[in-house]
Amino acid sequence: MNYKTINTVGTGYSGSSAIYEFLQKTNLFYDPFPNSQFSISYDPGGLIDLEIVIKNQFTINKSKLAHDKFLELIKFYCDQKNKLNIGKNLIKYNKDLSYLLNKFLNNIITLEYYGETTFLNFKSNIYEKLKFKIYDYLCRFKKEKRKNRNKLFLFCNINDFEKEVKKLFSEIFEKNNLQNKDVILEQAGTIFNPKSSLKYFKNPYNLCVLRDPRDIYTELKRKGFKFPSYSVEIFCDWYDNIFRKINFDEKSEKEVLFLNFEDFALNKQETINKIFDHIQLERIEINKVNFDFRRCENNINLYKSELVKSEIEYIEKKLRKYLYL
């Protein structure tokens, strides 16, 4: 099956979800995880972290930790028992997801064995260390092969790893894509490495959405406890540092398009044309899509009525090059 993978991504409150929603409502795309983020590529313990351990930084300790972190990630994606709704519960869109992810993890393991490392022993609490010392002492008098409390793992080589990732994504994205549509995802890659974070996806295109920092700060003050909203000075330092970490070398790549949320809201047809030209699909007329652009228009220039003059002036001074003028 041949298809494109279109991903929308931003820095947080940048408006990327609005563009994702518009594309969703065109009915031109297959959306395997509607209104959810399948960020297995770059999440802590995800595919990029596994690749680093397998390809460049192998140690026995790191292999064990990478394995255990990926197991935690599977639980984060698939756990249905979390009453606090902290996990992503992506299994509600794909009942086989837990099975597929566990199968993938098993397929990239070439050896399981019982052993011990100094680092793992260091992480244990006093009770566990004492218990293991006693067990270790008793095992010296037994003839059978000793089994320590830690199961350790060795992974396959990088080529086999990449093959297994392709198989995993094929099973996730193709089984229910009965009409062979292009795939749309939200936040499946990262704006900081817009090309390399999508390297595992088939024919990837990354739509990287930027927004005026004055409005982002306004949104943060409303609801953004995840980011620094308590101080305009810290926000400006944070925002500037965040942008310095974006790999703009990947901006020129044909798979990557940077655009402004404000253009999407104000220059609608022109921006949609730009997006569809980028992903190499036939242009569409926006008035044929059931999408309410008024919500986007109402989210522009929020700062004028919600920030105080000193906050606006400080952001305009410190982050002038990022403003939408």
* pLDDT tens, residue by residue, 137-154: 666 655 445 555 678 899
Lowest mean pLDDT among 77-91, 267-281, 282-296: 77-91
pLDDT score, position 236? 96
Per-residue HEC secondary structure of the chain comes to CCCCEEEEECCCCCCHHHHHHHHHHCCCEECCCCCCECCCCCCCCCHHHHHHHHHCCCCHHHHHHHHHHHHHHHHHHHCCCCCCCCCCCHHHCCCCHHHHHHHHHHHCEEEEEEECCHHHHHHCCHHHHHHHHHHHHHHCCCCCCCCCCEEEEEECCHHHHHHHHHHHHHHHHHCCCCCCCEEEEECCCCCCCCCHHHCCCCCEEEEEEECCHHHHHHHHHHHCCCCCCCCHHHHHHHHHHHHHCCCHHHHHCCCEEEEEHHHHHHCHHHHHHHHHHHCCCCCCCHHHCCCCHHHHHCCCCCHHHHCCHHHHHHHHHHCHHHCCC
**pLDDT (tens digit per residue) in 277-321:** 999 999 999 999 999 999 999 999 999 999 999 999 999 999 999
pLDDT tens, position by position, 170-190? 999 988 888 999 999 999 988
Is the pLDDT at 131 greater than 70, yes or no?
no
Contact indicator for 160, 108 with CB cutoff of 8 Å: yes
150: left (phi over 0), alpha (psi -120 to 50) or beta: beta
In which region does residue 185 sit, left (phi positive, over 0), alpha (psi from -120 to 50) or beta (all else)? beta
Tell me: pLDDT of 35 over 90: no
CA 54 to chain centre: 20
The mean pLDDT of 156-178, rounded to a whole number, is: 92
pLDDT at 139: 64
Q: Is the dihedral of CA 304, 306, 308, 313 positive or negative?
A: negative
Domain ranges of the chain: 1-32+186-325, 41-176
Q: Which of 16-30, 113-127, 227-241, 242-256 has the lowest mean pLDDT?
A: 113-127
Whether 29 shows a pLDDT value over 90: the answer reads: yes
What's this model's pTM, rounded to 2 decimal places?
A: 0.85
Select the more confidently predicted residue: 185 or 226. Answer: 185
Between β-strands 182-186 and 204-210, what pairing exists: parallel, antiparallel or unpaired? Answer: unpaired
Burial of 203 (0-12, 13-18, 19+ CB in 10 A): middle
pLDDT of residue 63: 93
Give the Cα separation of 1 and 20 in Å (integer): 23
Q: Which residues contact 222 (CB under 8 A, 6 or more apart)?
A: 306
Report the chain's mean pLDDT, rounded to a whole number: 88
At 11, the pLDDT band (50, 70, 90 cuts) reads confident
Confidence at 45, pLDDT banded by 50, 70, 90: very high
- Which pLDDT value is given to residue 168? 94
Is the predicted pLDDT of residue 93 greater than 90, yes or no? Answer: no
Contact by Cβ (8 Å): 10, 162: no
Least confident of 71-80, 132-141, 156-165, 205-214: 132-141
* CATH tag, 1-32+186-325: 3.40.50.300
Please state the rounded mean pLDDT for residues 203-207.
93
